[in-house]
Structure 1
Amino acid sequence: MSFTVVTLGSQIANEGVALLRDAGASLVATEAFPSKDEMIAVLDRHRPDAVMVRLVPRLDEDVMRAAPTLKVIAKHGVGCDDIDVAAARRLGIPVMIATGCNAQSVAEHALAMMLALVKDLERQTALMRSGRFDKSLYRGRELRGMRLGLVGLGQIGRSFAAMAAAIGMVIEAYDPFAPDAAFVPPIARATDLDALLARADVVSLHCPLTETTRGLLGAREIGLIRPGAWLINTARGEVIDEAALAAALRSGAIAGAGIDSFAAEPPPADHPFLHLPNVIATPHVAGVTDDAKREVSLQTARNVLSVISGGAPDPRYLAR
């Protein structure tokens, strides 16, 4: 079997590349964040059977139509906000995602951010570097007994909950789309987002970006988070009103935040999250540890092969 796969937004990890080549694939990859015209040109030139999506501004219907032989779109990850899934559906092209492959890495990143914030590590490092060795300036707290409020209870949220439970945190989650079976002890179901925000010592976002969740935490919702609490976002930047959160962080209404994703990426140099002392910021890397990249690349390749070989797409990996 011979077929062509174009990766938009840089090549996947070597393990996934090898799997596809062994199956007979010819591989083509663009640089990160190709323009719409560049994507159309490369698809028109190579007429791929499959497209793998990594770092792109948006894969819309115009781009898809540039590849009339396209049989499958495989996202290198889970979030599909950069793919017009409805357009792909109209064109009869399944969109596959690498469900669960980076859940452990993202959950560990959220845990690391929570520990760094609550243990005052960023500020203590800055004090040490300035020559201050003063234990009286430490503001660390114990996580044991604190309330963790999860917004979204997919695989990442459940993994993070297990880690937090081992520390001794009290956990509740808000996810109106999760089945009751997901809420197993020690995770309690919160039926009201406002109440969860008001009760939590740490709020951690783990929801996908959809039209329902875009702007989910606006100025009103951020105002409900109690003073002294921390906010962690390893989901999508657009879930939060960034200006409202920056204002709350400046005023001290919120103790601090861990931010791994931004509404615009890369963020501008003057973005407030990059300059506030009570913010830990990372460049959307929670799900791209070496381990996660390997697993995501392999599952992305498997998703391509499952369709190219003529089989029915596995519903666990179909974007909805």
Structure 2
Amino acid sequence: MTLKIAVIDDWQQVARDVVDWSPVQGIGEVTFVHDYPADTATLSQRLAGFEVICVMRERTRFDAALLRSLPRLKLLLTGGMRNAAIDLAAASSLGIQVCGTDSYKHAAPELTWALIMAHTRNLLAEATSLRNGGWQQGLGGDLHGKTLGILGLGSIGQRVAQFGQVFGMRVIAWSQNLTPERAAEVGVTLVSKQQLFEQADVLSVHLVLSERSRGLVDAQALGWMKPAALLVNTARGPIVDEAALIAALQQGRLGGAALDVFDPEPLPADHPLRHLPTVLATPHLGYVSRNNYRQFYGQMIEDLLAWHAGQALRPLN
């Protein structure tokens, strides 16, 4: 039987060319689906004919209702080894195998630092002014000698901390499970949660979204921050209390925010975070790099071939 394989969530329409899909030709036919309906009924109709679906991170929600409406679906492949948009328990009960991929570990830290540097030196306004015929508009900020706070010192947080050290910043960190020994291994000082927010000139969020981390950056935590501090979030939108952040920015109680993640996504066109002058916002680009996409789609192909041969490679359920 020739498998029918769908590649969805390809917002930039690059999946066809970023990797070589020819290894799949012997077992199935790949269709690149470039429509993105939000409702379950339309998704069910559009995806009903496929046994295999490749998804990009959490762009489409595969809840129990959608999974039940796809009786031919046998394999769901996702970029990354976590996907909160897939109901893994429902997939298992329906006999649907879910497999993931590794990630290119440098993409998110590099994007984090692009945001920190661009916001600190006011690069967007300066570049826009230059393009429109203007010249210097103001004074940029500085990083050397300042304090970088890392909320979540995992693999990404550690790389962000290392960049901060190269810039001559003092680096502090906190998370629920972080120990002084683990922090010291990467030259970082463990502090309390309140001290992290009070001392940081730049505070960067690098936690996994969970019930414990949801809303962790709340009004109280934002109130602890310096009036000129910068909050950076390239992790997940719901970790930050969005209403509290908007209020702090509108009232001038926070120097600014550099954000790559939101709740919901895509961000609505009339959302305040699109228009606040102290916000630098990007459309969830942390994982959207050439090397990361090559790894995601390349390993989806590996997962598919292994599954077809009777082996679950990088299973999530």
TM-score normalised according to structure 1 size: 0.83
Matched residue count: 311
> What residue in structure 1 maps to residue 41 of structure 2?
37
Runs of 4 or more off by more than 6 Å in structure 1?
129-132, 178-181
Alignment CA distance shift 1:8-1:149 (3 Å): same
Per-residue Cα deviation, 1:107-129 (whole angstroms, up to 9, x for no partner): 11100111112223334446656
CA–CA distance in 1 between the matches of 2:76 and 2:254?
A: 41
CA–CA distance in 2 between the matches of 1:180 and 1:78?
A: 28
CA–CA distance in 2 between the matches of 1:152 and 1:78?
A: 18
Match of 1:115 among 114, 117, 121: 117
> What residue in structure 2 maps to residue 53 of structure 1?
55
8 Å CA contact 2:158–2:186 kept in 1: the answer is no
CA–CA distance in 1 between the matches of 2:227 and 2:175?
A: 24
> What residue in structure 2 maps to residue 105 of structure 1?
107
The amino acid that maps onto 2:171 is: I
Per-residue Cα deviation, 1:6-42 (whole angstroms, up to 9, x for no partner): 2232363534451552553321232243331233224
> What residue in structure 1 maps to residue 65 of structure 2?
62
Structure 1 residue 203 corresponds to structure 2 residue 206: no
The amino acid that maps onto 1:187 is: V
| Partner SS state of residue 196, structure 1 | helix
Per-residue Cα deviation, 1:53-87 (whole angstroms, up to 9, x for no partner): 12644111222233445443221245513222232
Alignment CA distance shift 1:149-1:123 (3 Å): same
After the TM superposition, which residues 133-282 of structure 1 pair with which residues of structure 2 at under 5 Å, given as runs? 133=135, 137-141=138-142, 143-176=143-176, 183=183, 184-190=185-191, 192-282=192-282
Alignment CA distance shift 1:78-1:188 (3 Å): farther
> What residue in structure 1 maps to residue 31 of structure 2?
28
| Partner SS state of residue 221, structure 1 | helix
| Partner SS state of residue 203, structure 1 | strand
TM-score normalised according to structure 2 size: 0.84
How far the C-alpha of 1:5 sits from its partner, in A, is 2.2
Alignment CA distance shift 1:13-1:197 (3 Å): farther
Alignment CA distance shift 1:39-1:212 (3 Å): same
Residue segments in structure 2 that go unaligned for 5+ positions in a row: none
CA–CA distance in 2 between the matches of 1:93 and 1:281?
A: 37
| Partner SS state of residue 287, structure 1 | coil
The amino acid that maps onto 1:115 is: M
Alignment CA distance shift 1:4-1:133 (3 Å): closer
CA–CA distance in 1 between the matches of 2:5 and 2:21?
A: 13
The amino acid that maps onto 2:188 is: I
| Partner SS state of residue 252, structure 1 | coil
8 Å CA contact 1:173–1:188 kept in 2: the answer is yes
8 Å CA contact 1:16–1:301 kept in 2: the answer is no
> What residue in structure 2 maps to residue 83 of structure 1?
86
Residue segments in structure 1 that go unaligned for 5+ positions in a row: none
User: RMSD value over aligned CA atoms?
Assistant: 2.9
> What residue in structure 2 maps to residue 290 of structure 1?
290
8 Å CA contact 1:13–1:294 kept in 2: the answer is no
